[in-house]
């Protein structure tokens, strides 16, 4: 009898050791991990893994590091439930379970050679960070790059140190805005959509990629269409729908598509007419 390789089916749970943790915000924590068996986690920007703790549960979490940095991988975890709260109590040296990676990531081959407009809202910066750093590490493969990020307030600003580095780069345009400012905030105030009209782009050469809360998409897409970006050059992630990662639980099903298998990344033109998609 031939041995069944469960890793090919997505059911095998591998052990991963936490190498480092850092606090990003009051609710968000960054974990750097590596597989205990020494293998490299082979993933694409935009994919996710299922993270588990024995006796607690399992949840899908997007990989937020770039595959160009292969010795480890990073997860940004927001404490919103039983599992994620338990993860926040872990420290370097602790072990978690990992399944995956799963899903369809960002269409790198389509993006190469084009200008990019990358837009993140709130926790959406975490999965988009994987693509941002991939682009930074392969900067010559892409045209002009603009990154727009909006969050609720300065206290919820993710990856603050990295944002400062991105803002200092001469080959990337980075703008950040908050819905509500405090007295120390010196940046933009307002929704991320307000930044789009002022971005100088060639719409025919630009791919727009967005990750954020569902309420953001309709408004961002409307602004992108006003800029003249074609529907087949608008990319978004529907990761909020996912659960099992295997297309079995039906939690992420929208009509005949499964976000965890057919996505979470989709071209807008493919899902624009699917009720409940955005």
C-alpha 115: how far from chain center? 19
DSSP E strands, 66-144: 73-78, 95-102, 115-121
pLDDT at site 275: 76
Instruction: Give pLDDT tens digits for 125-171.
Output: 999 999 999 999 999 999 999 999 999 999 999 999 999 999 999 99
CATH topology classification for 108-271:
Rossmann fold (3.40.50)
C-alpha 145: how far from chain center? 17
Tell me: is residue 244 an annotated ligand-binding position.
Answer: yes
Whether 1 has a pLDDT exceeding 50, the answer reads no
Query: H or E stretch including 226?
Result: helix 214-226
Q: If one looks up domain 6-101 in CATH, what number appears?
A: 2.40.30.10
Whether 114 has a pLDDT exceeding 60, the answer reads yes
What's the mean pLDDT in 114-130?
97
Residue 191 near residue 179, CB atoms below 8 Å: yes
Residue 23 near residue 55, CB atoms below 8 Å: no
CA-angle at 67, arms to 38 and 202, nearest 5°:
180
> CA of 3: how far to CAs of 6, 7, 8, 37, in Å?
9, 12, 12, 19
> Domain limits of the chain?
6-101, 108-271
pLDDT at site 16: 98
* Residues 106, 210, 118, 75, CA torsion sign: negative
Lowest mean pLDDT across 55-59, 72-76, 94-98, 146-150: 55-59
Residue 150 near residue 177, CB atoms below 8 Å: yes
Tally of CB atoms within 10 A around 21: 17
Q: Considering the chain, what percentage of its residues have pLDDT values greater than 70? A: 87
| Those residues with Cβ within 8 angstroms of residue 215's Cβ, 6 or more apart along the chain or in another chain | none
Instruction: Give pLDDT tens digits for 5-25.
Output: 344 457 899 999 999 999 999
Residue with tokens 């420290």: 91
Tell me: is residue 260 an annotated ligand-binding position.
Answer: yes
Tell me: is residue 249 an annotated ligand-binding position.
Answer: yes
Q: Whole-prediction pTM value?
A: 0.91
Q: How confident is the model at residue 245 (pLDDT cuts 50, 70, 90)?
A: low
């Amino acid at each position: 009898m031939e041995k069944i390789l469960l890793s090919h089916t997505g059911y095998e749970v591998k052990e991963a050791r936490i190498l480092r943790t850092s606090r990003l915000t009051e609710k968000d924590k960054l974990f750097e991990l590596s597989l205990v068996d020494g293998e490299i986690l082979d993933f694409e920007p935009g994919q996710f893994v299922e993270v588990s703790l024995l006796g607690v549960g399992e949840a899908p979490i997007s990989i937020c590091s770039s595959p160009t940095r292969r010795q480890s991988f990073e997860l940004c975890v927001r404490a919103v439930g039983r599992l994620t709260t338990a993860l926040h109590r872990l420290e370097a040296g602790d072990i978690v379970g990992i399944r995956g990676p799963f899903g369809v990531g960002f269409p790198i081959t389509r993006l190469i050679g084009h200008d990019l407009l990358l837009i993140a809202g709130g926790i959406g910066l975490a999965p988009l960070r994987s693509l941002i750093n991939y682009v930074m590490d392969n900067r010559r493969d892409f045209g002009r790059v603009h990154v727009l990020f909006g969050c609720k307030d300065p206290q919820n600003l993710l990856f603050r140190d990295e944002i400062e580095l991105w803002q200092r780069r001469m080959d990337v345009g980075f703008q950040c805005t908050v819905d509500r400012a405090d007295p120390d905030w010196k940046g933009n105030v307002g929704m991320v959509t307000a930044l789009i009209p002022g971005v100088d782009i060639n719409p025919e050469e630009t791919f727009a990629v967005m990750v954020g809360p569902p309420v953001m998409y309709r408004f961002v897409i409307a602004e992108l269409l006003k800029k003249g970006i074609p529907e087949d050059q608008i990319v978004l992630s529907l990761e909020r729908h996912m659960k099992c990662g295997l297309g079995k639980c039906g939690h992420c099903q929208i009509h005949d598509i499964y976000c965890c298998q057919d996505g979470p990344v989709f071209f807008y033109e493919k899902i624009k007419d699917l009720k409940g998609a955005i």
